[in-house]
Structure 1
Amino acid sequence: MPELPEVEVSRLGITPHAKGQTVTRIDVRQPKLRWPVPETIKNIEGQPITAIERRAKYLLLHTPVGYAIVHLGMSGSLRVLPKMAPPEKHDHVDLHLASGKLIRYNDPRRFGAWLWQEAGGEHPALSKLGPEPLTDAFDAEYLLVKANGKRTVVKSFIMDNAVVVGVGNIYANESLFTSRIHPQRPAGSLTAKEADLLVATIKAVLDTAIKQGGTTLKDFTQTDGKPGYFAQELQVYGKDGKPCPVCSETLKGVKIGQRATVFCEKCQV
């Protein structure tokens, strides 16, 4: 948390304010994030932001000389504020824009990151990522090929960024429930029909979450400070011990890969 929808919502939120704007200054108040903020991040000063992309859960702020890589970690968020807005606790990075606005990065747990990559290269953090789930590259045929012979449980499989990026814990729970697939099944046991349904469901769940502004459980807010509303759509995540919304059986909660997993033993097979 934040997961792919929250990061995409952040990208959509800052793009109208930042794209085409020149960065006049970057203030790094706390360089000790998940990885130390490199001195080369200063290369963004004086550069126009030509594009803002998302790759997995990374935001890429492109300029002619390279791009800044922003990861929100577990508790990070971006806000668009007036340039004179005083920093508060956990406000670690400010990106000042020629428009008079700034993009402020807040991260209480400091598990996020600000990195830099010179133009013409690919940062190691991005080099081994699987396809984006909302693109045509992620389809049932691809999923079946990757799953073939895999004994890894299907929930861990679809959360593996080398398989497909951005299917975080919340959305893996929801997608498997909607697809009626038991999260502890081996990935290699998926049938062609199940793979087709699972891919379609992952795309639909993520798309709906983005349209709802993401999911706010604890820390995440949109760039305007508002929460994400997908939490109201959750069917099983965080609801172990409660009735299944389909059959009314009690939902079961277990740990898979140290992540909270909730499912219905009757509906999911």
Structure 2
Amino acid sequence: MPELPEVETVRRGLQPAMEGATIVRAETRRKDLRFPFQTDFVARLEGQTVTGLGRRAKYLLADLASGDVLLMHLGMSGSFRVIDAAGATAPGDCHHPRNEDRAHDHVSFTMSSGASVIFNDPRRFGYMKVIARTVLNDEPLLKGLGPEPLGNEFDAAMLARACRDKKTSLKAALLDQRVVAGLGNIYVCEALFRAHLSPRRLAATLASKTGGPADRAGRLVEAIHDVLNQAIKAGGSSLRDHRQTTGELGYFQHSFRVYDREGEKCRTPTCRGTVKRFTQNGRSTFWCPVCQK
């Protein structure tokens, strides 16, 4: 499933085509994706100007002039493509052909700029929903999400407080969207490796005996910031379905230091360990048992 860097990359790709433009025509080509479309889905979108395009965790949020918000989630295989007024996209050096089966083009938006924004989702795990901005905080899909890991409020003290009484592993805590929003398996593995912390470590050890942040909490927050910013700059990671809005692949997967590198020499300088893999909470965890403690 796309994680925060992939969703942020998509947001930045959609922004020039959608923000400030009006949805002239909205079309749904089936009755549902993961969930059924609302009966007034199209009516609440057509004629509305997109005043802003944001992101919350792994969700895209398009603010509309009406006061509604279009919430969008990519699911497992969802992707957007933007076709400009001349009918062309702008693939770059990392371009790979997208899924060419137009039967999976399930939603399209024709914008006043002349651009078309098309959502393709072969597995149909994605979803879209129109929500009034006034009740957005009560939306079940968003309610209870933790802080944004790249937001100003996310720091070592906050992470230590969130983990202080947890009896789960550190990796499980970081994957808990109530602790921090938007992190998934790939970037948790990478951040833990960079912070030299074991995924098996008890989450509560991020807090000191007095409840304040231990030094390792600061290292971990810094590692999370670094890996997410580098991944966003690289356009995310493309392992299976992720594409940018131009059709380009993200290329951060070439910078993985530990994820999917089972059996390789540890990339920490001076470490003589080997990357191992084990299953943790149903997910593959990659780590170096020598330098991650």
Query: Normalising by the residue count of structure 1, what TM-score does the alignment of the two structures yield?
Result: 0.96
Q: What pairs up with 1:180-259 in 2 under 5 angstroms?
A: 180-191=196-207, 192-246=214-268, 247-259=271-283
Which residue number corresponds to residue 101 of structure 1?
A: 115
Query: Quick one: percent identity of the two aligned structures?
Result: 42
Which residue number corresponds to residue 46 of structure 1?
A: 47
Q: CA separation in 2, counterparts of 1:34 and 1:63?
A: 23
Alignment match of 1:67 (pick from 66, 69, 83)? 69
Q: Mean alpha-carbon deviation: is it higher for 7-16 or for 32-41?
A: 32-41
Instruction: Give the direction of change, closer, same or farther, for the CA distance of 1:75–1:127 in structure 2 (3 Å limit).
Output: same
Q: CA separation in 2, counterparts of 1:34 and 1:157?
A: 27
Q: CA separation in 1, counterparts of 2:169 and 2:233?
A: 29
> Any idea what the Cα deviations from partners look like across 1:178-215, whole Å, max 9, x if unmatched?
00000011101225100001011101110110011110
1:92 and 2:106 are equivalent in the alignment: yes
Q: CA separation in 2, counterparts of 1:241 and 1:29?
A: 46
- 1:257 is displaced (CA, Å) by 1.6
Q: CA separation in 1, counterparts of 2:165 and 2:227?
A: 27
Q: What pairs up with 1:161-180 in 2 under 5 angstroms?
A: 161-180=177-196
Unaligned 5+ segments in structure 1 are none
RMSD of equivalent CA atoms: 1.6
> Any idea what the Cα deviations from partners look like across 1:14-53, whole Å, max 9, x if unmatched?
1011111110111111332222222232101110000001
Unaligned 5+ segments in structure 2 are 89-99, 208-213
- 1:119 is displaced (CA, Å) by 3.5
Secondary structure of the corresponding residue to residue 235 of structure 1: coil
Q: CA separation in 2, counterparts of 1:179 and 1:144?
A: 15
- 1:245 is displaced (CA, Å) by 1.6
- 1:248 is displaced (CA, Å) by 4.3
After the TM superposition, which segments of 4 or more aligned residues of structure 1 sit over 3 Å from their partners? 82-87
1:144 and 2:160 are equivalent in the alignment: yes
Q: CA separation in 2, counterparts of 1:144 and 1:31?
A: 44
Paired residues, number: 269
> Any idea what the Cα deviations from partners look like across 1:44-84, whole Å, max 9, x if unmatched?
11100000010000001110220110000111111111476
Q: Which amino acid aligns with 1:56?
A: A
